[in-house]
Amino acid sequence: MRIDIITLFPEMFEGPLNYSIIKRAQAKGLAEIHLHNLRDFSDNKHRKVDDYAFGGGAGMVMMMQPIVSCLEALKKERVYDEIIFLTPDGELFDQPIANKLSMASNIILMCGHYKGIDERLREHYFTREISIGNYVLTGGELAAAVISDAVIRLLPGVLSDETSALSDSFQDNLLSPPVYTRPAEFNGWTVPDVLISGNEKEIRKWQHEKALERTRTRRPGLID
């Protein structure tokens, strides 16, 4: 899978996508992330990318020209399954959206900034608009990193069987049950007996009950 990220701050991605499982996925050739600095596509001699909002009001609006030039340059090279604009007023990102995106071959993530982008682009260029939560970030970069991580870890071959994405919280609309490791007693705190009973069937039953209980108390909205 190939992810093209259009951003004003490519340096912001140096950290989040270059460690652990996501780094290994790229090293193994399972995922490619390509960063594009929007300023490089500005026709303006000062590499300007924003302008005043028609109708006034505080805050600048991202200009159409650099975004269109960048999108057209990318679209000339390959066909994209999704061209996504990251914006706090997009649809809320969740596991089903991550699952769907993980089946794509090529996607574009466009990071919004300032007051947003010219509405005409939203009408004519983007196949989807996504937000990662009901709070405002300074730009779409952290959202692009979150989405890239959530999607790349689902690609075949990225996770080992034992960390399989199928047992994740949310994958079956349930939170994960509590987990424990050695030692079986620490500071007088013990591990539930069933987990050290060796009874596989009882263990699965306990885990399912705990997952249900946790979901009911913490995220009742996940259970319809």
Considering the rule CB under 6 A, would residue 132 count as an interface residue with ligand 6GU? yes
Q: Contact with ligand 6GU (CB under 6 A): which of 13, 140, 148, 151? A: 140
Q: Contact with ligand 6GU (CB under 6 A): which of 87, 102, 106, 148? A: 87
Considering the rule CB under 6 A, would residue 116 count as an interface residue with ligand 6GU? no
CA dist 59 and 110 (Å) reads 19
Considering the rule CB under 6 A, would residue 16 count as an interface residue with ligand 6GU? no
C-alpha triplet 90, 122, 32: angle, nearest 5°: 75
Q: Which region among 26-34, 102-110, 138-146, 152-160 touches ligand 6GU (by CB under 6 A)? A: 138-146
- Asked whether 3 and 34 are in contact (CB, 8 A), the reply is yes
What are the tokens at 24?
């290994």
Q: Contact with ligand 6GU (CB under 6 A): which of 58, 136, 166, 179? A: 136
| Contacts with 31 (C-beta within 8 Å, 6 or more apart), sequence order | 1, 2, 3, 22, 25, 152, 155, 158
Which residues from 163-222 bind ligand 6GU, rule CB under 6 A? Answer: none
CB of residue 100 to ligand 6GU, shortest distance in Å: 17
Considering the rule CB under 6 A, would residue 112 count as an interface residue with ligand 6GU? yes
CA dist 130 and 84 (Å) reads 7
Interacting residues with ligand 6GU (CB under 6 A): 86-88, 112, 131-133, 135-137, 139-140, 143
